């Protein structure tokens, strides 16, 4: 990657996967912990004053090698089923966006990439329709509402400054991260199965969900940089699959009788149209769920 890649939110699950998969001397990390030479310590969730913004930008400038500069915003507080209060998450995420834009004003990056959420902003009650980027959105959670508003704030800024902004609307992400046992439903269910705990279901077994692995998301980010994409893109696998299949694969992999706790038996149909990304990159993400479940399981028990 022949430019400076500035990672905001180094410790996020997706940032960890991306930077480990594509390890590069071009990476500059912005995180709350200054653990290595390429890191800059910053709590971006706390509102910064002008002097603090200027000091951070000076630190970033000292580490720049190339003229091309890409900002990737992974930083975020909360999740689709977060235990944080709406007030605390919105305050932190508002601060993140404000600080990020203020840093952009000084550094003037060549490209901005923002990781949004497809699974929390599109309607999910139509079994026979796959939502595309131009369809009306309908955030179903506070998490989705905050993600969408952040898209709007960043888009307004990018349009005003004529910056290249790519918004990646990610489907339901899964993969292994040893730091968290509850990161994504597949990871969570595998941990529960291994530890003989009930698997909590928030939707019916007939629900159709579009899943994508951490590795595939990392590939999408890399392609976004290489192809210099601009605009909003849905990032998901080639089609949705039923939750019943996930349960079956987990049972086959762990060789255990699973105990299901159905907290909500409502159908959810999360179908995603990824044609826009394919037409601009030639890339389709196949369903690799069976292989990935086996891989995650081996990592959990090792």
User: For position 81, what pLDDT does the model report?
Assistant: 53
Q: Is 144 part of any domain?
A: yes
Is residue 4 predicted with pLDDT exceeding 90?
yes
State the CB neighbour count (10 A cutoff) for residue 78.
20
Q: Is 198 part of any domain?
A: no
Residue 291 makes CB contacts below 8 A (sequence gap 6+) with none
Residues 91-104 have pLDDT tens digits of 999 999 999 999 99
Residues 38-91 have pLDDT tens digits of 689 999 999 999 999 999 999 999 999 999 999 999 999 987 655 455 667 889
Full-model pTM: 0.94
With a pLDDT cut of 90, the percent of the chain lying above it is 82
Q: Is 262 part of any domain?
A: no
| Cβ–Cβ under 8 Å, residues 205 and 242 | yes
Its sign, for the CA torsion 180, 181, 182, 188, is: positive
Share the mean pLDDT of the chain: 92
Q: Is 180 part of any domain?
A: no
CA distance 148 to 137: 9
| Alpha helices for the chain (secondary structure H) | 13-21, 50-63, 86-107, 142-161, 185-194, 214-227, 243-254, 275-281, 289-301
Q: Is 102 part of any domain?
A: yes
User: For position 178, what pLDDT does the model report?
Assistant: 74
Query: For the CA atoms of 38, 40, 43, 48, what is the dihedral angle to 10 degrees?
Result: -150
Is residue 189 predicted with pLDDT exceeding 90?
yes
Range of the domain at 61: 4-175+211-239+271-286
**Residue positions counted in the chain:** 302
State the CB neighbour count (10 A cutoff) for residue 228.
12
User: For position 242, what pLDDT does the model report?
Assistant: 97
Q: Which two tokens stand for residue 153?
A: 């704030």
User: For position 203, what pLDDT does the model report?
Assistant: 94
Q: Is 85 part of any domain?
A: yes
CATH number at residue 134: 3.40.50.720
Please give the span between the terminal C-alpha atoms of the chain, in angstroms, as a whole number. 33
With a pLDDT cut of 70, the percent of the chain lying above it is 94
Most confident of 15-24, 28-37, 109-118, 183-192: 109-118
| Cβ–Cβ under 8 Å, residues 43 and 8 | no
Q: Is 266 part of any domain?
A: no
Query: How many domains does the structure of the chain reveal?
Result: 1
Q: Is 27 part of any domain?
A: yes
Residues 11-41 have pLDDT tens digits of 899 999 999 999 888 899 998 876 666 689 9
User: For position 39, what pLDDT does the model report?
Assistant: 85
230 versus 180: which is more confidently predicted?
Answer: 230
User: For position 83, what pLDDT does the model report?
Assistant: 47
CA distance 139 to 120: 6
Residues 246-278 have pLDDT tens digits of 999 999 999 999 999 999 999 999 999 999 999
């Amino acid at each position: 990657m022949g430019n400076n890649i500035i990672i905001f939110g180094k410790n996020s699950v997706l940032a960890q996967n991306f930077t480990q998969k594509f390890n590069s001397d071009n990476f500059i990390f912005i995180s709350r912990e200054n653990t290595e030479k390429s890191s800059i310590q910053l709590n971006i969730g706390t509102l910064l004053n002008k002097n603090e913004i200027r000091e951070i930008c000076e630190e970033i400038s000292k580490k720049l090698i190339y003229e091309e500069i890409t900002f990737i915003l992974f930083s975020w507080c909360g999740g689709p089923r977060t235990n944080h209060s709406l007030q605390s998450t919105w305050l932190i995420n508002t601060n993140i966006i404000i600080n990020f834009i203020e840093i952009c004003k000084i550094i003037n990056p060549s490209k901005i990439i923002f990781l949004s959420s497809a699974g929390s902003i599109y309607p999910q009650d139509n079994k026979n329709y796959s939502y595309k980027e131009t369809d009306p959105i309908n955030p179903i959670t506070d998490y989705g509402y905050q993600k969408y508003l952040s898209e709007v704030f960043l888009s307004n800024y990018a349009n005003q400054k004529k910056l290249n902004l790519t918004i990646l609307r990610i489907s339901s992400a899964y993969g292994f991260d040893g730091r968290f046992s509850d990161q994504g439903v597949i990871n969570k269910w595998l941990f529960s199965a291994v530890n003989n705990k009930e698997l909590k279901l928030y939707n019916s077994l007939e629900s159709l969900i579009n899943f994508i692995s951490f590795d595939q998301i990392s590939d999408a980010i890399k392609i976004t940089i290489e192809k210099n994409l601009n605009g909003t893109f849905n990032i998901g696998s080639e089609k949705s699959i039923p939750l019943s299949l996930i349960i079956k694969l987990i049972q086959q992999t762990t060789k255990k009788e699973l105990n299901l706790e159905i907290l909500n038996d409502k159908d959810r149909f999360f179908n995603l149209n990824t044609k826009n990304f394919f037409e601009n990159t030639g890339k389709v993400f196949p369903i690799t769920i069976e292989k990935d479940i086996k891989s995650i399981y081996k990592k959990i028990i090792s």
